[in-house]
Amino acid sequence: MHCTQLCSVSLVPLLLAIPANGGSRKMAMAGTIIAYRPVELITQVPSFSLNREAFLVHIEKTSSGATPELVKVVYEHLGYTGLTYDVLHATPLLLLRVSRERACDETYESFAKHGPVLRDATTGAESLKRIVFVGRFSGTSVPDSQRLNCYVLHHYEALTTAAGP
């Protein structure tokens, strides 16, 4: 399945540990991107330039008694992303193959303040919001002190066309 295509198969969110080559530990997580930084999306450079995006992802663990978790996912890729505006705003359930990267853990306050900014050349005012919450998450409020564990994205695919009701 191509990453930008959405399918109607519904799977229960999961969190699996999958051993990877070279001693690095990769995991598969099912979750929904609830917020993104629009400047990272619109300033991508085509060809062989490395682009970087960071998302807030809502993960539901399947272990007994676990509560939903909000994490930061960093996606570095060459050229344009498949996680387009339309895909982000459809809020599909995604299967994410990630590895844990403790070095980029931060609070929500830090994530919000240190995102890239696009300013008006004349006034110097910010032209876009630093973070946009999407779909059914558009009214979401995250406490500044919320800790965001960080993961690096290696691969993704859509599991559903929308993440729940």
Question: Residue 1 domain-assigned?
Answer: no
Lowest mean pLDDT among 11-15, 54-58, 68-72: 11-15
Mean pLDDT score across all residues of the chain = 78
* pLDDT of 104 strictly over 80: yes
User: Is 38 a domain residue?
Assistant: yes
Residue 163 has pLDDT above 50, yes or no: no
Q: What confidence score (pLDDT) does residue 162 get?
A: 60
Distance in angstroms (rounded) separating the CA atoms of residues 138 and 118:
21
Number of domains in the chain: 1
Decide if 9 is inside a domain: no
For position 98, what pLDDT does the model report?
Answer: 92
Is residue 104 in some structural domain? yes
Whether 96 maps to a domain, the answer reads yes
Question: What number is the average pLDDT over the span 53-59?
Answer: 93
In a domain, 2, yes or no: no
Query: How high is the pLDDT of residue 117?
Result: 85
pLDDT at 61: 55
Nearest to 57 by CA among 23, 27, 21: 27
| Residue 8 belongs to a domain | no
pTM attached to this predicted model: 0.76
- What pLDDT was estimated at residue 80? 78
Provide the β-strand partners of residue 16: 28
Binned at pLDDT 50, 70 and 90, residue 145 comes out as very high
Residue 165 included in any domain: no
pLDDT category of residue 19 using cuts at 50, 70 and 90:
very low
H/E stretch holding 87 reads helix 85-90
Tokens of 74: 């960093």
The boundaries of the domain holding residue 57 are 15-158
Residue 34 near residue 140 (C-beta atoms within 8 A):
yes
